[in-house]
Amino acid sequence: MRVRPIGQVEYLPTYQAMQEFTAARAADTPDELWLCEHPPVFTQGLAGRAEHVRDAGAIPVVATNRGGQVTYHGPGQVVAYPLVDLRRAGYFVKEYVYRLEEAVIRTLATFEVTGHRIGGAPGIYVRLDDPFSHAKLQPRLVTPDSIRGPWMAGQARHDSGDARDDAFAGLGKIAALGIKVSRHCTYHGVALNVAMDLEPFGRIDPCGYPGLETVDLSTIGVAVSWQEAAQALGHQLDALLSP
């Protein structure tokens, strides 16, 4: 796999470049991994609903063909775009998603942070009270009832940190993923929050979940540069995704 540290680039031209690369690749085209960050932008997946963007303000909203709903990209976030031929790699989409998540979990482990999966909610989460704890989470599964909060019952939304009895209680999302597979080849990918301005996440329902808290490494007390995090994530993705 060819790893390309690109740095900060605009989102839309990068999205278009991924589409062009995927459409033009042949059976022997080497896989690539693009590591970058974007200026502020909200991106909507194919399942995206307009009501999940509550206040975009001056930040552009870009419709995409990836899976999932709305997320935010901005400076201080490592965005990894693996361009992988799954047929040649020898595994299917479900395994690919597992490997993306595993790469994030292993990356976090290099910084002594424990990442967690939640069934039905792709991405990686950390304990807000103790992100360095190695204790496993009790099994959680996201269902419509498990994400129900007071704002979903016709009452006012609470943004003051009120306790919530749902699948995300006590957790913060530190990495989001959304992919597209065309002719057995992947694009889009995974975003790891390193040291960001997290305020724009408060203008959306991240990944379609009202009230889901979003965190970064800086917020949980890990001081690491974008370059260090990108190198660590790139190394793990290269190891886990290469045939």
Residues serving a catalytic function are 207
User: What's the chain's Rg over C-alpha atoms?
Assistant: 17
- Residue 241 burial (CB < 10 Å; 0-12/13-18/19+)? buried
Element at 193 (helix H, strand E): strand 185-193
Q: How many Å separate Cα 28 from the centre of its chain? A: 29
CA distance 143 to 168: 11
Cα 196-199-204 angle, rounded to 5 deg:
115
CA distance 104 to 115: 8
- β-bridge mates for residue 186, sequence order: 181
**β-strands 2-8, 32-37: how paired?**
parallel
- Residue 174 burial (CB < 10 Å; 0-12/13-18/19+)? buried
Q: Which two tokens stand for residue 8?
A: 């900060």
Please choose, from the candidates 14, 158, 187, 159, the residue with its C-alpha nearest in 3D space to the C-alpha of residue 85: 187
